[in-house]
Structure formats: structure tokens, C-alpha cells
Amino acid sequence: MSTTVLFAARDTRWDIYEPLLRAALDERGLDYRLGTDFEPQEVDYIVYAPDSHLQDFTPYTKLKAVLNLWAGVEGITGNQTLRAPLARMVDDQGLTQGMVEWVTGHVLRHHLGMDSHILNPDHAWSPNAPPLAPERPVTILGLGALGIACGQALAQLGFDVTGWSRTAKSVEGLRCLNGPEGLSDALTGAQIVVLLLPDTPHTQNILDAAAMAKLETGAAVINPGRGPLIDDEALLAALDSGQISHATLDVFRIEPLPEDHPFWAHPGITVTPHIASETRPATAAQVVADNIARGENGAPFLHLVDRAAGY
Ligand code: NDP
């Protein structure tokens, strides 16, 4: 009997995803029905994004899994109507590759002091070479799919990288710390800090005034994780005092960032509009089809969300 796959992400993406998902499901030899409109009780899998109109999963009585197209799941983990397994997007070739490029680029911008040459209205000749990467301590908060890949890319460039996670980890090339007791050590003396944590009750405001005070004076903050990870008021105060020299922010508590938000006008803040990395349909379709094939073949799903932990 064929398996029924409902696509319930934003309607505008259906045209892009439909041929890619069909090709990926065909490649795996699956007998399936794929569409945007089925009777709920017929649906086996839902390809999902939290911006979907679908918020009540109760009628989906035989659901085997929800396959989220996004890495972040804070918009769905708390949904009590969802009882089926929830998988999130982990895609080395697409989402992860994009994040590595964005993080590396912004770390190098601060490391090399590029702004002082790009923005040099007085044509000052200031021949101050930057330090080498091994002299630049970089801390990555979050050692998941994205944090590890970014940390290792930076380590390969020679940076002195520390990573921090909830559970203990061992990652080649990185100094790994974990848990509340490891946080202070991870932050102390860091010159660049990159936030790649999920948004959960335990991570909100993790970069508050006390945390920023532990960084090296003049440190740079780079946040492609989620807006609530940073205490916004504390960040503005730390920028104004010079404790933080610059913040590059891709994610915000309210998106789009309101026109009158002080972040837009602050000279020490670079705003990018949640583009650090996005799900790439061609490779994401393969990830989704892989998980459907696993479900149909009785194999455990990949990239499952721990709903209790919130990520
Ligand atoms: P993962 O779930 O793979 O990794 C999350 C990491 O955070 C893990 O290392 C986890 O620890 C750690 N963590 C979670 N809670 C805590 C805590 N309380 N204390 C310490 N560490 C904690 O996620 P990804 O790497 O795939 O993605 C990270 C985030 O990046 C996403 O949740 C999303 O918010 C954001 N994102 C942003 C994008 C953008 O364009 N701006 C694009 C894609 C993602 P442990 O390893 O012990 O479980």
C-alpha cells in the first residue's frame, strides 16, 4: 500500500519542492502519494515548516513522522497536538555548508579588521597587521550539526576554537566544554563568540551582561542562532561601554526587525535579515526522502527532536 506524504510548508514553496521530492522518493523506490491536500486520517508523513497553516495535528491519526524543513524547532516543539516523532533539518551539503560560509566570513571580517580598510573616509594609512588566527580565541556556543561544522572550519583556518554544549563532547580540533559549569570558562577571554544554540527556556538570554563581561574587552559577538539567546539591552550597554566592539546579528526577537529598533541605527551592529543559512530545496528533499524511506523500511528516523529538551 502506498504511503501518503502531505506537504504542509508554505504554499509558495510547493512548486519548488514537488519535483525535487518526487525525484528523491522515486530514487528510493517508494510507492507514495505526495500532495498538499489529503484527508488527515490518510496521512503518513508531513513535510512541515513552522510557518505552516497546519497547527492542529489531532486529526492526523496514523501519522508516522513530521519532517521539519527547518533546523530550528522552537515553533513546533511545544505543540501538544503533535504526538508523532518530529525530525528536524540536518543537511550537510545545504544548510550546514551555508552556515559555515556565513560564520567563517563574519569571523574573518572581525579577525582581519576589514571594516577599518573598507570604511576609511579619511584615507588613513594605518599599517597595523592583524594577529594570526592561532592568537585569536573564538568560542562557539552550541556544538550541534552547525556548531561543530563551523568550529572545525575555523580550527582548520588555525583559530583557537572552544566549543560549548549541554552534554560532554569530544570534537577533533576543538577544546570542548559543557554544562553550566563550563560556560564561564568557555566565555572567559574569548575575542569572538558565535551563538549556534537553539532557542529553549535554558538558552534564552544566555549572553547577558554577566556573560559579556567575561569576554575579552572589545570582543565581537556573532549571532546566527536565535534572537532570544542575547539580552538586547545588555548588548547595547556593552557596545556603548566598549566591552563589545561589534555585534553581527542575523536573528532577532521580532522578525523582520522593526524599522525603529535601535539595532538598525547602532554603529556597532551589523544586521543581516535571517539569511545566515537557509534550507536548500535540492538537498533538503534528499534528507526528507531518506527519512521517509527509513520509516517505510523500519529503520529509526534520523535527526529526531528531543521534545522535552526543546531541540
Ligand atoms: P543542534 O540541535 O544540532 O545543536 C544544538 C547545540 O546546542 C547542541 O550542541 C546542544 O548541546 C546545544 N545546547 C542546547 N541546549 C543547551 C544548553 N542548555 N546548554 C548548552 N548547550 C546547549 O542544532 P543545529 O546545530 O542544527 O542548529 C543550531 C541552531 O541554529 C538552530 O536551533 C537554529 O536556531 C539556528 N539556525 C539558524 C539559521 C539561520 O539562518 N540564522 C539556520 C539554521 C539554524 P548537546 O550537543 O549537548 O545536545
- Say yes or no: CB of residue 89 within 6 Å of ligand 1: no
Task: Please state, rounded to an integer, the average pLDDT across all residues of the chain.
Answer: 97
Question: What is the CA(195)–ligand 1 centre distance, in A?
Answer: 9
- Say yes or no: CB of residue 281 within 6 Å of ligand 1: no
Q: Are residues 7 and 114 in the same domain?
A: no
Q: Are residues 29 and 147 in the same domain?
A: no
Q: Write down the ipTM of this complex.
A: 0.99
Residue 55 lies in a domain: yes
- Say yes or no: CB of residue 143 within 6 Å of ligand 1: yes
CATH no. for residue 39?
3.40.50.720
State the cell numbers at 15: 512548486
* CB count in 10 Å sphere of residue 307: 17
pLDDT score recorded for residue 12: 78
Domains in the chain, number: 2
Q: Are residues 84 and 114 in the same domain?
A: no
Say how far apart CA 228 and CA 302 lie, in whole Å.
Answer: 27
Asked whether the predicted pLDDT for residue 11 surpasses 80, the reply is: no
Q: Are residues 151 and 218 in the same domain?
A: yes
Question: What is the CA(122)–ligand 1 centre distance, in A?
Answer: 42
Confirm if 60 and 41 have CB atoms less than 8 A apart.
yes
Using CB atoms within 10 Å of the CB of residue 264, give its burial: 0 to 12 exposed, 13 to 18 middle, 19+ buried: exposed
Closest approach atom of ligand 1 to CA 70: 43
Residue 42 lies in a domain: yes
Closest approach atom of ligand 1 to CA 275: 40
Asked whether the predicted pLDDT for residue 303 surpasses 90, the reply is: yes
Separation in Å, CA 175 to CA 137, 161, 163, 266:
11, 6, 6, 33
- Say yes or no: CB of residue 166 within 6 Å of ligand 1: yes
Q: Which pLDDT tens digit goes with each residue over 271-287?
A: 999 999 999 999 999 99
Q: Are residues 121 and 208 in the same domain?
A: yes
Closest approach atom of ligand 1 to CA 251: 41
Q: Which pLDDT tens digit goes with each residue over 59-90?
A: 999 999 999 999 999 999 999 999 999 999 99
Residue 58 lies in a domain: yes
Where do we find the cell 594570526? Answer: 132
Domain span at residue 148 reads 93-271
Residue 57 lies in a domain: yes
Partners of residue 175 on adjacent β-strands: 162
Confirm if 277 and 96 have CB atoms less than 8 A apart.
yes
For the chain, the 3-state helix, strand and coil shares in percent, each to the nearest 5, are 35, 20, 45
Say how far apart CA 197 and CA 67 lie, in whole Å.
Answer: 20
Please tell me the residue having the least CA distance from ligand 1 atom 32: 198
Q: Which of 144, 73, 67, 68 is nearest to 311 (CA)?
A: 73
Catalytic residues: 226, 274
Say how far apart CA 239 and CA 222 lie, in whole Å.
Answer: 13
Question: What is the CA(140)–ligand 1 centre distance, in A?
Answer: 11
Element spanning 64, H or E: none
Residue 308 lies in a domain: no
Mean pLDDT on 284-297: 98
- The model carries a pTM of 0.97
Q: Are residues 101 and 242 in the same domain?
A: yes
Say how far apart CA 233 and CA 230 lie, in whole Å.
Answer: 9
Q: Are residues 175 and 44 in the same domain?
A: no
Classified as helix, coil or strand, 76 is coil
Question: What is the CA(198)–ligand 1 centre distance, in A?
Answer: 4
Classified as helix, coil or strand, 189 is coil
- Say yes or no: CB of residue 222 within 6 Å of ligand 1: no
Q: Are residues 83 and 122 in the same domain?
A: no
Using CB atoms within 10 Å of the CB of residue 267, give its burial: 0 to 12 exposed, 13 to 18 middle, 19+ buried: exposed
Positions of E strands within 49-168? 65-68, 86-87, 137-141, 160-165
Where do we find the cell 560560509? Answer: 101
- Say yes or no: CB of residue 144 within 6 Å of ligand 1: yes
Residue 310 lies in a domain: no
Please tell me the residue having the least CA distance from ligand 1 atom 44: 71
* CB count in 10 Å sphere of residue 49: 18
Please tell me the residue having the least CA distance from ligand 1 atom 16: 166
- Say yes or no: CB of residue 225 within 6 Å of ligand 1: yes
Q: Residue 301: what are its φ and ψ, rounded to 5°?
A: -65, 150
Q: What is the DSSP string of 204-237?
A: TT-B-HHHHHHSPTTEEEEE-S-GGGB-HHHHHH
Q: Which pLDDT tens digit goes with each residue over 150-207?
A: 999 999 999 999 999 999 999 999 999 999 999 999 999 999 999 999 999 999 999 9
Please tell me the residue having the least CA distance from ligand 1 atom 30: 225
Residue 304 lies in a domain: no
At 14, is the pLDDT very low, low, confident or very high (cuts 50, 70, 90)? very high
Say how far apart CA 23 and CA 289 lie, in whole Å.
Answer: 9
Q: Are residues 115 and 195 in the same domain?
A: yes
pLDDT score recorded for residue 251: 98
Question: What is the CA(207)–ligand 1 centre distance, in A?
Answer: 15
- Say yes or no: CB of residue 305 within 6 Å of ligand 1: no
Q: Which of 111, 92, 120 is nearest to 302 (CA)?
A: 92
Residue 224 lies in a domain: yes
Instruction: Tell me the percentage of the chain whose pLDDT exceeds 70.
Output: 100
Q: Are residues 200 and 101 in the same domain?
A: yes
Q: Are residues 153 and 283 in the same domain?
A: no
Q: Are residues 140 and 259 in the same domain?
A: yes
Using CB atoms within 10 Å of the CB of residue 183, give its burial: 0 to 12 exposed, 13 to 18 middle, 19+ buried: middle
Q: Which of 46, 49, 16, 50 is nearest to 34 (CA)?
A: 46
CA 5 to chain centre: 26
- Say yes or no: CB of residue 147 within 6 Å of ligand 1: yes
